[in-house]
C-alpha cells in the first residue's frame, strides 16, 4: 500500500480521541515503570493511545520497550516516532554549532551531521531537533552557541549541508534521521539579548536575514520544523498563522511536520493570548501539529471539538466542525511523517542497533575541532616547536566537562581528552599545569552556573595565592599557554549574559602572565563571541577555540604544534567592547559611517579607543601567507540576465599548506533604500600547497543584489536597482578589494 493510502486508511478508522492522541509529544522522562510501582504518566498515556511521539529516550532498549507499549495501547497499531536533541553530535560530541560554522566547510558540516544521524538511529531515534538555524547578532543571547552565526548566506549553506547530512537521500534512508529546522523564526534576535524575549523588526529584516536559512533547509528537503518561543512583531510564533501556514507552507511549499517547542502552546497564555482553550485553538489554527510536553492539545481539544470556540474572548471564532478539520489536518501530517519514515510498514525499522565505529567519530571530531578554532593573532609564536618547556595555566587546562559545550545531552565528559593530556600525547612531554584563576569569582553566579550541572569547580585559595603560583610556573617555562574562557553553562538556553567579556578573574590572570614577559598564547574556550579587551593585546598569540566537543583540546593541540593548519574564519563578529552589541559586519550604511575613527558627530562610541582590537566577520589567520591578486571582472557592465565572472588569483607564498576561504561581498551604493555596507554573496574554500597559485572564479548574477521591500509580510516585493554596485573580495569582511559593476537594467 502506498504511503498516502496507508494514511487515508488509518484516518478513516480513527476516533477523535485517537487523533488527538497522535498530536501529543512527550518527554521520555522517568520512562516506563512495570511491576509494583505506581505507573508513570508516560506509561498510562501509552496504554491509553495518547502519545504520538517521544523525545529524550536514552537507549535502544527503552525506545523499543516504549514502541512495544505504544503498539499494545493503540487499537490500530499506530507506532510512535522517537526524537532527540542531537545538536552538535550525539554520543560523539562535535564542536558547538557556532564553532562548526567557523570552519566554513560544508562537507565537514555534512559529515558531522551524517555521523550524528548514524549514532542516533543506532539508538532507535528517528528525528533530531536540529539544525538550529537562528541567526544571531547579539552575543548576549546564550543560544548563539547553537547557531550558524550572523550571516544569512553562510547560515543558508549550513542549513542545506546539515539537512543533507542528517537526512541523506530522504526520509527512510538507513542510518539517517529526519531533520527539524528550529527555531522558526527570529529566536536569535530577542529584545536586549534576553532568552525567550520577543522580537520587533522590520519585515524586510525578517525576510532578508532571518528567514533565508529556513528556506534553504526546506529546499534541501527538511522533513520537520520547530517553532520558536518568541513573538515576532507581537504575534507569538506558536500562534503565528501568517508565518507558519502562510510563509512556511504557503510560500515555501513545506509539507512536513511542525512541532511546538517545550510547553510552547501553554506559554501562549503567559504571552497574553487567552486562556488554555483559546491558546490551543490558536496554535492548531496556526499550523502547530504537535504539542510538546504541555499536554494542552490533549486536555483542551476534546471539548473544543464538540463545543467550538466563541469569538468573544479570542477574536477567533471556530465551529466544532472547523476544530475537527484542524485536528484532522494535524493528525494527517503526523501520520504522513511516520509513513515517510517507514514506520507504518515496520514500527521497529532501523532498530538494529548498529552504531558507527567510535574511532571514526573521534577522528572526525578532532578534525572538526581543528577546523573550527580561529587563530586571531600570531606574532610569530605559533606553531610551537615540541621540546619547549610549557606552563599550561588556567581553569580549562585540564578540563573535560566544559569542553562538551551546551546541549550535549548524550555526551560524556569522560570521553574528552583534556588539553594537558592532549599536548602530552602529541609531543611526548607533559606541560606544567596550574589552575591560575577561578572561572568566576562571584559565589552567586557560580551557584547559578552549577544549577544545571556541576562543571564549575573552584580553588578555595585566595586569588593572590593562585596568581603567585601561576606567575612562578610561567617564569620557570619557555612558553606560557593560558586556557581561559566560559563554563559550558555560561552559554546555551536561558544563559544570556549582560557583559560579554572574559570573566574578571581570568582577565587578571592573563595580565599577570603577560607581566612575566614570557611568550604567551591565550586559548579561549567559549560558547559565544566575547570581547577580549586587553587580552588581545597582552597575548602574543590568540586562538579562539570555542567549546570544541570530545576532541576539542586535541584539535587545539594539533593546531598549536602545527600538526594541523589553522583555517577557521569567524562566523560572527567579535565585539571590541562588551557594550557594542548587537552588532554585525553587515550593518546598513549611515550618513556618518561606522566603523572608523571616532570623531565628533560620527557614528561610534566616545569611550571606545580607536585602536580597540577588532576581529571582523570572516576573519582568521593561518600559518602560511596567502597573497591576493587584483580582482578582475570579465565585463564592467552587464544586463540583468547575464552572468559576470569575477576572476582572482591567489597564491600561497608561505612554506605551509593553507585552506583559504575567499569571500565575496556586495554593496549597493545607489539603491532606493539604505543597504548594508557589505553583504556576503558567495565564498569558496581553496586548498593551496606551499607555493601554489590558483585562479578563483565567482559567477556574479543580478539576483544576488535583490532585496525585499515589504510593508507587510503578505505584500513583499523583491527589487533590484539598475546602476552601479560594488564587489568586494578578500580574506574577511574588512580587508577587501573593490571592483565596480554596472547593471544596465
Ligand atoms: C529548546 C529546544 C529543544 C526542546 C526539547 C527546548 O527548551 O528550546 O531547542 O529542542 O527544549 O528539548
Average pLDDT, the chain: 95
Does the pTM surpass 0.95? The reply is yes
With a CB cutoff of 8 Å and minimum separation 6, the contacts of 473 are 391, 393, 432, 434
Question: 324 CB contacts (<8 Å, ≥6 apart)?
Answer: 16, 305
Least confident of 444-453, 520-529, 573-582: 444-453
Its sign, for the CA torsion 362, 367, 369, 372, is negative
Angle made by CA atoms 565, 571, 575, in degrees to the nearest 5 = 110
Report the separation in Å between the CA atom of 225 and the middle of ligand 1, taken as the mean of its atom positions: 12
pLDDT at residue 454 greater than cutoff 70:
no
Strand 737-743 versus strand 723-730 pairing type: antiparallel
Q: Furthest-apart CA pair in the chain: how many Å?
A: 81
For the CA of 85, the closest atom of ligand 1 is: 10
Helix axes 320-340, 276-286, angle to 10 degrees: 50
Q: What's the CA-to-centroid distance between 409 and ligand 1, angstroms?
A: 11
Interval 254-273 mean pLDDT: 97
More confident position, 209 or 350: 209
Determine the distance separating the centroid of ligand 1 and the alpha carbon of 187, expressed in angstroms: 12
Under the banding of pLDDT at 50, 70 and 90, the label for residue 251 is: very high
Split at pLDDT 50, 70, 90, the class of 62 is: very high
Mean pLDDT of 243-265: 98
- Residue 244's pLDDT is what? 98
Distance CA 229, CA 186 (A): 10
Which class for 14: exposed (0-12), middle (13-18), buried (19 or more C-beta within 10 A)? buried
Q: From the candidates 261, 289, 501, 721, give the one annotated as an active-site residue.
A: 261
- Which of 177, 187, 259, 493 has most ligand 1 atoms within 8 Å of its beta carbon, as the pocket-test mutant? 493
Q: 3-state DSSP call for residue 206?
A: helix
User: Is 171 within 8 Å of 340 (Cβ atoms)?
Assistant: yes
Q: Tell me the C-alpha distance between 56 and 51, whole Å.
A: 14
C-alpha cell at 221: 528537503
> Is the alpha carbon torsion for 281, 286, 289, 295 positive or negative?
negative
Q: Is 291 a catalytic residue?
A: no
Nearest atom of ligand 1 to the alpha carbon of 180: 10
Which residue lies with its CA nearest to atom 8 of ligand 1?
261
Residue pLDDT, tens place only, 290-318 = 999 999 999 999 999 999 998 766 678 89
Which one is predicted more confidently, 146 or 456? 146
**Spacing, Cα 226 to ligand 1 middle (Å):** 9
Which ligand 1 atom lies nearest to the CA of residue 409?
A: 12
Q: How far is ligand 1, taken at its centre, from the CA of residue 672, in Å?
A: 41
Mutation test residue for ligand 1: of 26, 185, 261, the one with most atoms within 8 Å of CB = 261
pLDDT digits (tens, 9 = 90+) for 552-575: 999 999 999 999 999 999 999 999
CA 654–ligand 1 middle distance (angstroms): 46
How many angstroms separate the Cα of 390 from the Cα of each of 387, 469, 508, 509?
9, 15, 20, 16
**Cα–Cα dist 283/274, whole Å:** 12
**Percentage of residues in the chain having pLDDT higher than 90:** 90
**111 alpha carbon, distance to own chain's centre:** 16
pLDDT digits (tens, 9 = 90+) for 373-414: 999 999 999 999 988 899 999 999 999 999 999 999 999 999
The ligand 1 site (C-beta within 6 Å) comprises: 85, 129, 182, 261-262, 493
Mean pLDDT of 95-111: 98
What's the CA-to-centroid distance between 262 and ligand 1, angstroms? 6
What secondary structure does DSSP assign to 273-306, as a single string?
S-SHHHHHHHHHHHT--BEESS-HHHHHHHHHHH
pLDDT digits (tens, 9 = 90+) for 584-618: 999 998 888 766 555 566 777 888 887 887 899 99
SS3 at position 377 = strand
Q: Where are the beta strands (DSSP E) in 583-678?
A: 626-628, 632-633, 637-638, 644-652, 658-667
Centre of ligand 1 from the C-alpha of residue 17, in Å? 27
pLDDT at 31: 78
Q: What is the mean pLDDT of residues 667-694?
A: 97
Please state the atom number of ligand 1 nearest to the C-alpha of residue 182: 9
Task: Please write the tens of the pLDDT for every residue from 211-230.
Answer: 999 999 999 999 999 999 99
For residue 292, report the distance from its CA to the centre of ligand 1, in Å.
9
Residue of minimum CA distance from atom 7 in ligand 1:
262
If you measure from the C-alpha of residue 26 to the centroid of ligand 1, how many angstroms do you get, rounded to a whole number?
12
> What DSSP designation does 713 have?
G
Calculate how far, in angstroms, residue 264's C-alpha sits from the geometric centre of ligand 1.
10
Angle formed at CA 110 by CA 409 and CA 97, multiple of 5 degrees: 45
pLDDT at site 371: 98
Nearest residue by C-alpha to atom 12 in ligand 1: 85
Domains defined for the chain, CATH in brackets: 1-29+39-82+291-341 (no CATH), 360-573 (3.40.50.1700), 626-743 (2.60.40.10)
Give the pLDDT of residue 37: 67
Confidence of residue 34 (pLDDT cuts 50, 70, 90): low
Please give the share of the chain, as a percent, with pLDDT higher than 70: 97
> What tens digit of pLDDT does each residue of 1-11 get?
788 999 999 99
Ligand 1 centroid to 261 CA: how many Å? 6
Measure the CA–CA gap between 679 and 665, rounded to whole angstroms. 5
Atom 5 in ligand 1: residue holding the nearest Cα: 262
Instruction: Kindly report each contact of residues 271-274 with a partner whose C-beta sits within 8 Å and lies 24 or more positions away, as own/partner.
Output: 271/231, 271/236, 271/239, 273/236, 273/239, 274/313, 274/314
Q: What is the pLDDT of residue 375?
A: 98
* pLDDT tens string 164-192: 999 999 998 999 999 999 999 999 999 99
Atom 6, ligand 1: which residue's CA is nearest?
A: 262
CA of 488 to the centre of ligand 1 (A): 17
Amino acid at each position: 500500500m502506498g504511503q498516502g493510502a496507508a494514511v487515508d486508511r488509518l484516518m478513516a478508522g480513527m476516533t477523535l480521541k485517537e487523533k488527538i492522541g497522535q498530536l501529543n509529544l512527550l518527554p521520555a522522562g522517568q520512562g516506563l515503570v512495570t511491576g509494583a510501582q505506581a505507573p508513570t504518566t508516560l506509561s498510562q498515556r501509552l496504554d491509553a493511545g495518547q502519545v504520538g511521539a517521544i523525545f529524550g529516550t536514552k537507549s535502544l532498549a527503552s525506545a523499543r520497550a516504549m514502541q512495544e507499549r505504544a503498539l499494545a495501547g493503540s487499537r490500530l497499531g499506530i507506532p510512535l516516532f522517537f526524537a532527540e536533541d542531537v545538536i552538535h553530535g550525539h554520543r560523539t560530541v562535535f564542536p558547538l554549532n557556532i564553532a562548526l560554522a567557523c570552519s566554513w566547510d560544508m562537507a565537514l558540516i555534512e559529515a558531522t551531521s551524517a555521523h550524528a544521524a548514524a549514532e542516533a538511529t543506532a539508538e532507535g531515534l528517528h528525528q533530531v531537533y536540529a539544525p538550529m538555524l537562528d541567526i544571531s547578532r547579539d552575543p548576549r543571547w546564550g543560544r548563539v552557541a547553537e547557531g550558524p552565526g550572523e550571516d544569512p548566506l553562510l547560515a543558508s549553506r549550513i542549513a542545506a549541508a546539515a539537512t543533507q547530512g542528517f537526512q541523506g537521500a530522504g526520509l527512510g534512508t538507513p542510518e539517517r534521521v529526519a531533520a527539524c529546522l528550529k527555531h522558526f523564526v527570529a529566536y536569535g534576535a530577542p529584545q536586549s539579548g534576553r532568552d525567550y524575549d520577543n522580537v520587533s523588526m522590520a519585515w524586510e529584516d525578517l525576510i532578508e536575514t532571518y528567514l533565508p536559512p529556513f528556506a534553504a533547509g526546506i529546499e534541501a528537503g527538511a522533513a520537520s520544523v520547530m517553532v520558536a518561543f518568541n513573538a515576532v512583531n507581537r504575534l507569538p510564533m506558536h500562534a503565528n498563522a501568517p508565518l507558519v501556514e502562510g510563509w512556511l507552507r504557503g510560500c515555501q511549499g513545506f509539507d512536513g511536520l511542525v512541532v511546538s517547542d517545550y510547553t510552547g502552546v501553554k506559554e501562549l497564555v503567559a504571552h497574553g493570548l487567552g486562556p488554555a482553550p483559546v491558546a490551543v485553538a490558536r496554535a492548531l489554527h496556526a499550523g502547530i501539529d504537535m504539542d510538546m510536553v504541555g499536554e494542552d492539545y490533549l486536555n483542551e481539544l476534546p471539548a473544543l471539538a464538540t463545543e467550538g470556540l466563541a469569538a468573544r474572548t479570542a477574536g477567533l471564532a471556530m465551529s466544532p466542525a472547523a476544530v475537527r478539520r484542524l485536528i484532522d489536518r494535524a493528525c494527517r501530517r503526523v501520520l504522513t511523517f511516520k509513513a515517510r519514515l517507514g514506520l507504518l510498514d515496520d514500527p521497529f525499522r532501523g532498530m538494529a542497533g548498529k552504531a558507527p565505529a567510535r574511532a571514526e567519530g573521534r577522528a572526525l571530531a578532532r578534525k572538526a575541532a581543528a577546523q573550527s578554532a580561529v587563530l586571531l593573532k600570531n606574532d610569530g609564536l605559533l606553531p610551537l616547536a615540541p621540546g619547549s618547556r610549557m606552563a599550561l595555566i588556567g581553569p580549562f587546562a585540564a578540563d573535560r566537562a566544559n569542553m562538551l559545550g551546551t546541549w550535549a545531552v548524550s555526551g560524556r565528559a569522560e570521553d574528552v581528552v583534556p588539553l594537558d593530556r592532549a599536548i602530552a600525547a602529541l609531543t611526548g612531554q607533559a606541560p606544567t599545569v596550574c589552575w591560575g584563576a577561578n572561572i568566576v569569582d562571584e559565589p552567586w553566579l557560580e551557584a547559578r552556573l552549577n544549577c544545571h550541572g556541576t562543571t564549575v569547580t573552584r580553588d578555595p585559595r585566595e586569588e593572590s595565592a593562585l596568581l603567585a603560583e601561576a606567575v612562578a610556573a610561567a617564569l620557570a617555562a619557555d612558553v606560557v599557554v593560558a586556557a581561559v574562557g566560559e563554563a559550558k553553562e555560561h552559554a546555551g538556553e536561558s544563559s544570556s549574559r549582560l557583559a560579554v567579556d572574559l570573566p574578571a578573574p581570568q582577565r587578571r590572570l592573563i595580565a599577570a602572565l603577560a607581566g612575566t614577559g614570557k611568550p604567551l598564547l591565550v586559548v579561549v574556550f567559549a560558547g559565544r563571541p566575547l570581547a577580549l579587551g586587553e587580552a588581545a593585546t597582552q597575548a602574543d598569540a590568540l586562538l579562539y577555540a570555542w567549546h570544541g566537543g570530545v576532541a576539542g583540546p586535541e584539535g587545539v593541540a594539533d593546531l598549536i604544534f602545527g600538526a594541523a593548519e589553522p583555517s577557521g574564519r569567524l562566523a560572527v563578529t567579535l565585539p571590541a567592547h562588551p557594550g557594542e552589541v548587537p552588532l554585525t559586519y553587515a550593518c546598513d550604511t549611515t550618513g556618518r559611517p561606522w566603523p572608523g575613527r571616532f570623531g565628533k558627530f560620527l557614528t561610534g562610541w566616545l569611550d571606545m579607543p580607536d585602536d580597540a582590537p577588532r576581529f571582523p566577520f570572516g576573519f582568521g589567520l593561518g600559518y602560511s601567507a596567502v597573497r591576493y591578486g587584483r580582482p578582475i571582472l570579465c565585463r564592467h557592465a552587464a544586463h540583468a540576465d547575464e552572468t559576470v565572472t569575477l576572476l582572482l588569483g591567489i597564491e600561497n607564498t608561505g612554506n605551509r599548506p593553507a585552506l583559504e576561504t575567499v569571500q565575496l561581498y556586495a554593496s549597493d551604493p545607489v539603491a532606493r533604500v539604505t543597504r548594508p555596507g557589505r553583504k556576503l554573496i558567495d565564498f569558496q574554500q581553496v586548498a593551496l600547497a606551499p607555493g601554489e597559485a590558483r585562479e578563483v572564479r565567482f559567477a556574479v548574477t543580478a539576483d544576488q543584489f535583490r532585496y525585499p521591500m515589504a510593508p507587510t509580510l503578505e505584500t513583499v516585493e523583491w527589487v533590484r536597482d539598475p546602476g552601479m554596485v560594488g564587489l568586494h573580495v578578500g580574506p574577511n569582511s574588512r580587508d577587501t578589494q573593490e571592483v565596480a559593476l554596472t547593471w544596465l537594467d
